[in-house]
């Protein structure tokens, strides 16, 4: 890695590959290099601009007219390449089209709806902890971070019981596909057909149980808010981004609390800290590490001139640990004031399911902390590699009941 300055643009050129296995294994030294090289950098490997400081990441997220999403939020530029699947009507859209679809999902996943599902989500978390206490030793990823969202989210959506094993592999494809054409992306897309077929089928109205999030989206078509052909694609957004993200969020929180026993004890002493403990894990681990935008015009960003049609890679994870914005950014502190972190993004595209994620995280951590005295890591954690998502594949633990 080097940080040679480029006289031509004043933007430092770096030869780092932020989609490389070595990077994924330990991204933090490279995040620091990216932040310290300058407010805007250029990555020669993929011919993209990059921002890794909080201020610039926040600025790019909050200027969607200049840094658009409709040309794709991965490396692929939809103006130049055919997307691997029909573009998302919300993630990969700009205002005014985005405004309409966003309003629909905001309504379906609103604070009011969260109040209605809270008791159900909390009861399922208690049931999960019952099962874990019986086991004592288990894999905190498979048996907890995956098992819990799988026990509630597909039902909340209204999915059929059959075929749910496609959900996590499908999400894995979606998030790998935002990356460059590396082995992770190519292999994911090559193997995606059965998962895509399952998802396309489940998005249809007749396959979604009444009262679920999916049916609520279709009901919006009756109201005229969206068309009947748009509804399935909006359901697809929940299938793409609603499960694997919370798996990685809950996994991150449990991994943090197992690694930092002082924070676990603080949480046990005050269960009202559960929601903050989850939020801080989202900042600290940033389950969604990166997203791209594309410039719609020539723009100057913190002194760097970026031409039209350029891809800009936002390092959300690096921004969440930028010492310019955060005190002791590398420490996990469940009482930290996390408001403003970009783990869920910021601006008009900020995660529309953030309330679902927080609810799941809060009730799960509350149930764990109430009934478990100690969580010990008993084996080497294994990382799961994905071009966008950061999380573990396996985290062997043993618990001591309270």
Range in contact with other proteins (rule: CB under 8 A) among 109-117, 202-210, 308-316, 389-397: 109-117
**Sign of torsion over alpha carbons 342, 345, 348, 354:** negative
> Exactly one of 279, 322, 333, 360 binds other proteins (CB under 8 A); which one?
279
Q: By C-beta, is 247 or 355 nearer to other proteins? A: 355
The rounded distance, in Å, linking the Cα atoms of 231 and 218 is 5
Query: 295 forms bridges with which residues in the sheet?
Result: 67
* Interacting residue with other proteins among 3, 114, 168, 215 (CB under 8 A): 114
Give the Cα separation of 303 and 326 in Å (integer).
23
Residue 40: which of 65, 68, 67, 76 has the closest Cα? 67
Q: How far is CA 75 from CA 175, 195, 252, 309, in A?
A: 12, 22, 26, 12
Minimum CB–partner distance for residue 8 and other proteins (Å): 36
- Quote the CA–CA distance of 68 and 117 in Å, as a whole number: 34
Q: State which of residues 76, 154, 344, 366 lies at the interface with other proteins (CB under 8 A).
A: 344
339 part of the interface to other proteins, by CB under 8 A: yes
Residue 340: CB minimum distance to other proteins, A: 4
- Decide if residue 324 touches other proteins (CB under 8 A): no
Please give the backbone phi and psi of residue 89, each rounded to the nearest 5 degrees, phi first.
-80, -5
DSSP state of 12: P
Minimum CB distance to other proteins smaller for 37 or for 267 = 267
Interface with other proteins (CB under 8 A), residue from 79, 115, 120, 191? 115
Determine if 362 is a binding residue for other proteins (CB under 8 A): yes
219 binds other proteins (CB under 8 A): no
Establish if 285 lies at the interface with other proteins (CB under 8 A).
no
Interface residue with other proteins among 341, 363, 388, 399 (CB under 8 A) is 341
When asked if residue 264 is in the footprint of other proteins (CB under 8 A), the reply is no
Take residue 131 and report the two structure tokens written for it. Answer: 């099962």
Nearest Cα neighbor of 342 from 318, 375, 376, 313 is 318
Residue number, 315 or 344, with CB nearest to other proteins: 344
Contact status: 107 vs other proteins (CB under 8 A): yes
Task: Pick between residue 177 and residue 274 the one whose CB is nearest to other proteins.
Answer: 274
Q: How far is the CB of 178 from other proteins (least distance, A)?
A: 22
Q: What is the CB neighbour count within 10 angstroms for residue 7?
A: 6
Q: Which residues, 6+ apart, have CB-to-CB distance to 99 below 8 Å?
A: 348
Among 4, 79, 86, 110, binds other proteins (CB under 8 A): 110
Contact segment (CB under 8 A) with other proteins among 40-48, 106-114, 146-154, 376-384 equals 106-114
Q: Residue from 347, 384, 385, 394 that binds other proteins (CB under 8 A)?
A: 347
Among 5, 10, 307, 340, binds other proteins (CB under 8 A): 340
Binding residue for other proteins, selected from 9, 354, 394, 398, defined by CB under 8 A: 354
Cβ at position 350, least distance to other proteins in Å: 5
Alpha-carbon distance 93 to 83, whole Å?
13
Number of residues that bind other proteins (CB under 8 A): 25
> What secondary structure letter does DSSP report for 288?
B
Residue 98 in contact with residue 340, Cβ under 8 Å? no
Interacting stretch for other proteins, rule CB under 8 A, among 175-183, 298-306, 347-355, 372-380? 347-355
Chosen residue from 275, 374, 383, 384 binding other proteins by CB under 8 A: 275
d(CA 192, CA 209): 25
- For residue 208, give every residue at least 6 positions away whose Cβ sits within 8 Å of its Cβ, in sequence order, or none: 157, 158, 159, 202, 214, 215, 218, 235
Q: According to the 3-state scheme, what is the secondary structure of 250-272?
A: HHHHHHHHHHCHHHHHHHHHCHH
For position 371 contacting other proteins by CB under 8 A, the verdict is: no
Which residues are near other proteins by CB under 8 A? Answer: 103, 106-107, 110-115, 275, 279, 337, 339-341, 344, 346-348, 350, 352, 354-355, 358, 362
């Amino acid at each position: 890695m080097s940080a040679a300055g480029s006289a031509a643009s004043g933007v430092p050129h770096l030869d780092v590959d932020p989609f490389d296995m070595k990077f994924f294994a330990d991204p933090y030294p490279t995040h620091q290099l990216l932040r310290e090289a300058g407010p805007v950098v250029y990555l020669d490997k993929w011919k993209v601009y990059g921002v890794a400081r909080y201020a610039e990441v926040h600025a790019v997220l909050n200027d969607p007219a200049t840094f658009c999403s409709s040309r794709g939020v991965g490396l692929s530029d939809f103006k130049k390449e055919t997307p691997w699947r029909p573009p998302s009507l919300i993630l990969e859209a700009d205002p005014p089209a985005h405004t309409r679809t966003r309003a629909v999902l905001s309504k379906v996943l609103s604070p009011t709806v969260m109040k209605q599902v809270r008791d159900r989500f909390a009861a399922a978390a208690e049931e999960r902890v019952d099962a874990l206490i019986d086991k004592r030793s288990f894999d905190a990823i498979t048996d907890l971070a995956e098992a819990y969202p799988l026990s509630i989210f597909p039902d909340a959506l209204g999915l059929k019981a059959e075929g749910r094993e496609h959900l996590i592999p499908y999400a894995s494809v979606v998030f790998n596909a935002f990356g460059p054409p590396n082995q992770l992306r190519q292999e994911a897309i090559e193997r995606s057909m059965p998962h895509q077929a399952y998802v396309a089928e489940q998005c249809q109205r007749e396959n979604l149980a009444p009262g679920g999030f999916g049916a609520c989206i279709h009901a919006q078509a009756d109201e005229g808010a969206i068309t009947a052909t748009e509804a399935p694609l909006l359901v697809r957004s929940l299938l793409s981004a609603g499960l694997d993200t919370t798996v990685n969020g809950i996994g991150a929180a449990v991994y943090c609390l197992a690694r930092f026993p002082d924070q676990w004890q603080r949480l046990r002493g005050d269960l009202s800290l559960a929601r903050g403990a989850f939020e801080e894990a989202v900042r600290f681990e940033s389950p969604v590490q990166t997203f791209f935008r594309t410039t719609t015009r020539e723009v100057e960003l913190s002194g760097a001139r970026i031409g039209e049609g350029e891809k800009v890679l936002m390092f959300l994870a690096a921004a969440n640990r930028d010492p310019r914005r955060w005190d002791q950014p590398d420490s996990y502190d469940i009482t930290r004031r996390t408001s403003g972190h970009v783990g869920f993004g910021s601006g008009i595209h900020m995660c529309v399911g953030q309330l679902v994620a927080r609810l799941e995280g809060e009730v799960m951590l509350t149930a764990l902390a109430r009934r478990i005295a100690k969580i010990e890591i008993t084996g080497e954690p294994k990382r799961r590699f994905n071009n966008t998502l950061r999380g573990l594949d396996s985290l062997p633990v043993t618990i001591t009941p309270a």
